[in-house]
Amino acid sequence: MIHTSTAADPTTTPPPGTKRSTYFYIAVALISLIGLADATYLTIEHITGQSVRCTIVAGCSEVLSSKYALVAGVPLAMIGATAYFSVFSLATLAAFGYRFAGKLLNVLVAFMLLVSLWLIYLQAFVIHSFCQYCLLSAAVTFVAAALLFLRWRNS
C-alpha cells in the first residue's frame, strides 16, 4: 500500500495558521517532561518506601504517607507519571498535526488541573503539610493549562 501525502488526511492535517499552535504544543510537551521526571522519581520513592521517611530537605513524609497518596492501592505518583506521559504523547501528536490529540489533550489537562487543585487543598487544609515534589507537579500542570488556554485564545 502506497501512502500519498498526508495533506489529504483530515485527522493529521494542520489547519491553516496553526504554526503558533504547534509552538504551544511543543512547549506543553517539554514542560510535561518535568512532570514526568518528578512523578517517576516519586513513584520509585514510594515503591521503595523512601518517600515515607522524614528528611531534612523535604518534608514530604506527612503527605506521601497519608491515605491520599494511594488510589485503590495504586500510588498516586504512578497515576501522575502515566498522566504526564499521556500529556507528552498527546502534545507531541498535536504538534505534528493530529487534531484529535489536541482535543484529548485539552480534556486531560483540564482534568489534571482540577486534581491538582484538589491535592493542594488536601495539603493545605487536611494534611497541613506541603510536599515540594507535589507542588512542582501542580506547577507543571498549571503551566501546561495556561499554555493550552493561550493557544485556544490565539487560535
Residues in touch with other proteins (CB under 8 A): 3, 6, 12, 33, 36-37, 40-41, 43-45, 47-50, 52-57, 59, 61-62, 65, 81, 85, 88-89, 92-93, 95-96, 98
CB half-sphere exposure, 24, CA atoms < 13 A: 22
Residue closer to other proteins (CB basis): 63 or 147: 63
Residue closer to other proteins (CB basis): 48 or 72: 48
95 contact partners, CB below 8 Å, separation of at least 6: 22, 25, 26, 29
Residue closer to other proteins (CB basis): 58 or 149: 58
Minimum CB–partner distance for residue 95 and other proteins (Å): 7
Residue closer to other proteins (CB basis): 73 or 153: 73
3-class SS of residue 15? coil
Minimum CB–partner distance for residue 49 and other proteins (Å): 4
Angle separating helix axes 19-48 and 99-121, nearest 10 degrees: 50
Q: Are 47 and 64 in contact (CB under 8 A)?
A: no
Would you mind telling me the total number of residues written for the chain in this entry?
155
3-class SS of residue 14? coil
Minimum CB–partner distance for residue 30 and other proteins (Å): 11
Minimum CB–partner distance for residue 153 and other proteins (Å): 25
Give the C-alpha separation, 76 to 79, whole Å: 5
